[in-house]
Chain A
């Protein structure tokens, strides 16, 4: 399996999804070697994790998140920082070496960064190639075309693959529309969540100020995610203005960092709602969990969200969700409010209703929590194992 990141060194949902999927697959007696582009000691016992090294490299360190530059430490001791593109070709070379020495029944590659390596591996091993689409360039570019270089790699990977896995019907439609791939080549396997795998909350919420305000009748609307175009936060702020005009005791907690950080702070000021909007920057661990828990409602208004794990995490920490209809997770959860990403008024209408009616908030949460506890990766792994078997058998025949 070719992937770009695994937790705890992940930048977002991709690493978590790979990790959980492999864990569930291992329970189905699937023997996995997961090839990463960097060195790290992952505490993982259910599969083999390999760092793909070019021969003259001693170690590869991440210098930030998975999409920043990588520090290469060469055998002769000198160090170099490589860009994502350079890193990608080195990963390809290393994988090509690696597959010569092992025996692989199926090659399973996650997202475009691994596709060049995957195609080389397929050429060498002749094993069937399954590419797994967690997001396409248009999602990441917030509905625009995005980087043509990335699209080209995606396009070739999708064409050459023996099977494509999409994380939602929404993503499947994107692949069909943007890359002209016939639907019968694409199988939808929804992401899921390990409902027992999340760290529990402790007694004291980290957001003491918000707890105190809630005591005085304030309501908290939470958004957690990268502050990037895809996440559609400018529309959330526009909706926030309408909500605050009608329910002045509403506070918006925006957790995350990203290139829109400063522009969102400015936008809040321009809208005259800075007093009600709190930016926390990027948070991990307790601060991250408690942000979910302090909310009366969690909002994910993304322009396009192939799956979108955060609403499930919000539900697990006791908060009902408003999510964009252009998200994969909206195919999985019924007891939530759904809104078209462009519909600022409807978004405001829904948030206002929740902050004004505790009964709506509580019914939404109780019923969605019931759905949440029944989710598991097992179904996804089961479907995937069947696809492996089918393609392995076809390749052997």
Chain B
């Protein structure tokens, strides 16, 4: 029986809020754009940087591998907010994504347009954003997503139930041990309480070997080569599908070029395909190819973040709670205003990254959260967000909508 690597990469950039102060609120409604190019929050600068370091070289490499190995396949998800930014500031990069999709061997996974946590706050808003994303993907890539992933891989039974009803054939989640128990993530599963949908669970150990540990010289397995990695897979006898899920920026941005990450990617298909029966599949192909082995029950929400695998990196402190509730409390009035610019700003503020920047959990250790934040500290992130929130209230008031 064949065994497949299911490589799934997630592409996303938020619209970061500029240094938006209480003096801007009520005067100028531009939260995301007018900042000096060199500013830490400059979305344009960050798009250029990430495109240069990650998207362009990775896409070139992937395209090369797709041409060289007919069995090579992968899946990607790409948010509406990053597509828009590429359209504005790096059309060449967007074209390189289109080139991948045009090979017919790269599948696009569905999600919310704005990379939001709307599923947990407003079901109707969530469905609107999923529909917006589907439409955007159809327009830009000419494809319709058949498999769903929620923001930050935040998953529970309710989400699976929704995705099943919405007609998706598959859904992605973290293969977290407390949920799987003794079971392996390397199979196809069925979510509890659903009829047709299938569940693919991230093998976080193997995924994190690449995404997090690859350049860590204190790691006992450093340096990781494609040869060694595929040897581990070949030695793993339970399982049909190795679900390697990670951020796209793993290649070139989280793991820099000089770590050898592109070399690893370059040799991965070559090494894996050496063994007869080994192949690559997209998420849909895996779901079609393998029968589900069991039901998986996830009554509470599991994400792919941090050691807790919960939503605490986004909603764990009082600032995050206050900010997100304040935002969603405006929902009906903002939608009711029919002001398209206001509605779009509201949606851009829903992007989960804004709440992530407010995380204080590990601020003191100067760890990963700090690295990815364009703010000096979580408090400044909160202040800019709340000032934008106050401005939205001002805009509603201006329209005669009482808040």
Interface residues of chain A, those whose CB is within 8 Å of chain B, are 242, 246, 334-335, 337-338, 345-346, 348-350, 352-353, 356-360, 362-364, 367, 370-371
Which residues between 366 and 403 of chain B lie within 8 Å of chain A, taking CB atoms? 376-380, 382-383, 386-387
A353 touches B383 (CB 8 A): yes
B360 touches A363 (CB 8 A): yes
For A337, give the chain B residue with the smallest CB separation: B379
B360 touches A353 (CB 8 A): no
CB-CB under 8 A for A363 and B317, given A345-B23, A349-B387: yes
Interface assignment of B234: CB less than 8 Å from any CB of chain A: no
A246 touches B321 (CB 8 A): no
Type the 1/0 row for B318-336, where 1 means its CB is closer than 8 Å to any CB of A. 1101100000000000000
> How far is it, in angstroms, between the C-alpha of A363 and the C-alpha of B364 when the chains are bound?
13
> How far is it, in angstroms, between the C-alpha of A397 and the C-alpha of B154 when the chains are bound?
67
> How far is it, in angstroms, between the C-alpha of A334 and the C-alpha of B370 when the chains are bound?
12
> How far is it, in angstroms, between the C-alpha of A338 and the C-alpha of B375 when the chains are bound?
12
B22 touches A246 (CB 8 A): yes
Q: Which of B318, B364, B376, B387 contacts A353 (CB 8 A)?
A: B387
CB-CB under 8 A for A367 and B360, given A345-B23, A356-B386: yes
A363 touches B22 (CB 8 A): no
For A246, give the chain B residue with the smallest CB separation: B22
Q: Which residues of B contact A242 (CB under 8 A)?
A: 22-23
Given contacts A334-B377, A359-B321, 7 further A-B contacts (CB under 8 A): A335-B379, A346-B21, A353-B383, A356-B386, A359-B322, A360-B319, A367-B364
> How far is it, in angstroms, between the C-alpha of A98 and the C-alpha of B386 when the chains are bound?
63
- What's the least CB distance linking B321 to chain A, in Å? 7
20 interchain pairs, CB-CB under 8 A = A242-B22, A334-B363, A335-B360, A335-B377, A346-B21, A348-B23, A349-B21, A349-B23, A349-B383, A349-B387, A350-B383, A357-B382, A358-B318, A359-B321, A360-B379, A360-B382, A363-B318, A363-B378, A364-B379, A367-B364
Which residues between 306 and 351 of chain B lie within 8 Å of chain A, taking CB atoms? 317-319, 321-322
B383 touches A360 (CB 8 A): yes
B377 touches A362 (CB 8 A): no
Which 4 residue pairs are nearest across A and B when measured between Cβ atoms? A359-B318, A349-B21, A359-B322, A353-B383
How many chain B residues touch the partner (CB < 8 A)? 20
B317 touches A335 (CB 8 A): no
A335 touches B21 (CB 8 A): no
Q: Which residues of A contact B386 (CB under 8 A)?
A: 353, 356-357, 360
B380 touches A337 (CB 8 A): yes
> How far is it, in angstroms, between the C-alpha of A371 and the C-alpha of B360 when the chains are bound?
13
> How far is it, in angstroms, between the C-alpha of A215 and the C-alpha of B386 when the chains are bound?
24
> How far is it, in angstroms, between the C-alpha of A246 and the C-alpha of B378 when the chains are bound?
23
Interface residues of chain B, those whose CB is within 8 Å of chain A, are 21-23, 317-319, 321-322, 360, 363-364, 376-380, 382-383, 386-387
For B377, give the chain A residue with the smallest CB separation: A334
> How far is it, in angstroms, between the C-alpha of A139 and the C-alpha of B376 when the chains are bound?
26
Q: Which residues of B contact A334 (CB under 8 A)?
A: 363-364, 377
A345 touches B21 (CB 8 A): yes
- What's the least CB distance linking B282 to chain A, in Å? 43
Q: Which residues of A contact B383 (CB under 8 A)?
A: 349-350, 353, 360
CB-CB under 8 A for A352 and B22, given A334-B364, A363-B360: yes
- What's the least CB distance linking A125 to chain B, in Å? 45
Q: Which residues of A contact B379 (CB under 8 A)?
A: 335, 337, 353, 360, 363-364
CB-CB under 8 A for A362 and B318, given A335-B377, A350-B383: yes
Q: Which residues of A contact B360 (CB under 8 A)?
A: 335, 363, 367
> How far is it, in angstroms, between the C-alpha of A246 and the C-alpha of B387 when the chains are bound?
12
For A322, give the chain B residue with the smallest CB separation: B379
- What's the least CB distance linking B17 to chain A, in Å? 13
Q: Which residues of A contact B23 (CB under 8 A)?
A: 242, 345, 348-349
For A353, give the chain B residue with the smallest CB separation: B383
Q: Which residues of A contact B22 (CB under 8 A)?
A: 242, 246, 348-349, 352-353
> How far is it, in angstroms, between the C-alpha of A338 and the C-alpha of B319 when the chains are bound?
18
- What's the least CB distance linking B334 to chain A, in Å? 20
Q: Select the residue from A338, A349, A350, A362 with max chain B CB neighbours within 10 A.
A: A349
Q: Which residues of A contact B21 (CB under 8 A)?
A: 345-346, 349
> How far is it, in angstroms, between the C-alpha of A338 and the C-alpha of B387 when the chains are bound?
18
A363 touches B319 (CB 8 A): yes
Q: Which residues of B contact A335 (CB under 8 A)?
A: 360, 363-364, 377, 379
Q: Which residues of A contact B321 (CB under 8 A)?
A: 359
Q: Which residues of B contact A353 (CB under 8 A)?
A: 22, 379, 382-383, 386-387
Q: Which of B319, B364, B380 contacts A371 (CB 8 A)?
A: B364
Q: Which residues of B contact A350 (CB under 8 A)?
A: 383
> How far is it, in angstroms, between the C-alpha of A348 and the C-alpha of B22 when the chains are bound?
8
